[in-house]
Structures are given as structure tokens and as C-alpha cells.
Amino acid sequence: MKFFLDTADLAEIEEAASWGALAGVTTNPTLYARIGGKLDDFHNHIKRICDIVGPDCPVSAESVAMTRDEIVRDGRELAKIAPNVVVKIPTMVEGLAATRQLADEGIPVNMTLCFTVPQAILAARAGARYISPFVGRFDDISEDGLAQLDDVVRAIGNYDFTADTVNGEQIEIIAASIRSANHVTQAALMGADIATVPFGILKKCVSHPLTDRGLESFLKDWEKVQNA
């Protein structure tokens, strides 16, 4: 499983990229607003993210348009920012139509706000390169988001969608709305291709109290060696 960072914060992206395990970034309007982003700087900000992570790491930038023609127009403009930009489009009728058009033009799409197997299959058939089922938002309404993710992973894995994607790639499932390290664990066990996680959760994925305890013990023992 690959790790994407779910943020628009440049400092977080730079730090995560320095760890050597970051494979991509996902952004959305909420994350951009959270850092005080301005409309007239949005494209430049996405370009800065692309420059940080490099050309091999996809960066999802979301269209906020609501009609297919406007989404396609947005998508074309976003795709011009950098070759690794992926256009993020909500799973809805207009989004499906726009995804098909953009995919036919060679522009990769990440279909987001996906909550059901039928939505995921429709997104796949429309040509989405990535599909993002949300986990945490199901949990917010007292439903099992991990079970829904498992359903999507298994359903998409049942079929070959390579004829539908831009360059015949396999569709990748991005486990999104990740709220804990356990969400990451379960997504990996289910076979999700990617987990996109907030920086705080990514740090928790690295940490464990037994690691800290073991390191503390090693350092104490080495101090004894030095003083022997």
C-alpha cells in the first residue's frame, strides 16, 4: 500500500516527503481553506506542491464546479499546472460525464466522495484512474466505514477496468477520510492500494510505545557501555 498525504500545508508535505515514503498528495477545498488559501493563488499553490513531491507523485486538485462542461473546463486548466496533477471530481452524474470526457483526453481523474459499490463501479467505467471511498465519514454517522471500503476493494478487484482508464492502467483505490492508524492497518489488510492520511495520522503510523520503550532501553544500555 502507498501513502498519500491529505493536506494542503506545504510544511507538512515537505516534512513527509523527507521521510522517503510519500507517494502522492490529495487536497480539497476544505484543506486549502484551512491554511488560509486564496482563490487567485490556488493554481500556484498546487504547482508548489507538485514541485515539492516531484513528477512521480500524483497530486489531486479538486474541481468545485457543478456542471459537466464547467468540470471539464476546470480539469483542463488544472492539468496544465503540472504533468502529475490528477483532477479530483465528486461522484455524481455530472462528475461521471466529466470524468469520461477528461479520461478520453488523457487527463487522469480521482473520483472522490465515493460511498458505495455502485458508485465505485460507475466511476471505474467512466474512466477514473483513482477512486476514493471515504471511511471516517461513515463512522461519523455510526456506520461501518471499513466494511464499506472492503466492499469497494473487493468489487473493483472482481473486474478488469484497464480498457476504461487513460493509459490502460489498473484503477487504484484510495482509502480516504482516514481517522486513525487502525484505519490504515485495516485498509492495508483489505488490499486498498493507497491510504491518504492527514499528517497527524501519518506520524502516529510511525510511532508505537514499545518502539519508544525499546529505544530508551537501548540508549541506556549504550550509555553503560560508554562509561564502562
pLDDT value for 38: 95
Give the pLDDT confidence of 202-211 residue by residue, as tens digits: 999 999 999 9
Which domains are delineated in the chain? 2-227 (3.20.20.70)
Give the pLDDT confidence of 89-142 residue by residue, as tens digits: 999 999 999 999 999 999 999 999 999 999 999 999 999 999 999 998 888 888
CA-based nearest residue to 27, from 187, 12, 222: 12
pLDDT value for 4: 98
Three-state SS for 21? coil
Mean of the per-residue pLDDT values of the chain = 96
Catalytic residues: 88
Give the separation between CA 206 and CA 18, rounded to whole angstroms. Answer: 14
The DSSP call for residue 194 is E
Question: Which phi and psi (to 5°) does residue 61 adopt?
Answer: -125, 130
The pTM assigned to this predicted structure is 0.94
pLDDT value for 139: 82
pLDDT value for 179: 95
DSSP collapsed to 3 states, the chain: CEEEEECCCHHHHHHHHHCCCEEEEECCHHHHHHCCCCHHHHHHHHHHHHHHHCCCCCEEEECCCCCHHHHHHHHHHHHCCCCCEEEEEECCHHHHHHHHHHHHCCCCEEEEEECCHHHHHHHHHCCCCEEEEECHHHHHCCCCHHHHHHHHHHHHHCCCCCCCCCCCCCCEEEEECCCCHHHHHHHHHHCCCEEEECHHHHHHHHCCHHHHHHHHHHHHHHHHHHHC
Is 86:93 a contact under the CB 8 Å cutoff?
no
Give the pLDDT confidence of 4-42 residue by residue, as tens digits: 999 999 999 999 999 999 999 999 999 999 999 999 999
Model confidence band, residue 166 (pLDDT cutoffs 50, 70, 90):
confident
Three cell numbers, residue 51: 514541485
Answer left, alpha or beta for residue 106, where phi above 0 means left and psi between -120 and 50 means alpha.
left
pLDDT value for 83: 97
Answer left, alpha or beta for residue 91, where phi above 0 means left and psi between -120 and 50 means alpha.
beta
Residue 143 clears pLDDT 90, i.e. is over it: no
Cα torsion through 70, 61, 104, 153, rounded to 10 = -120
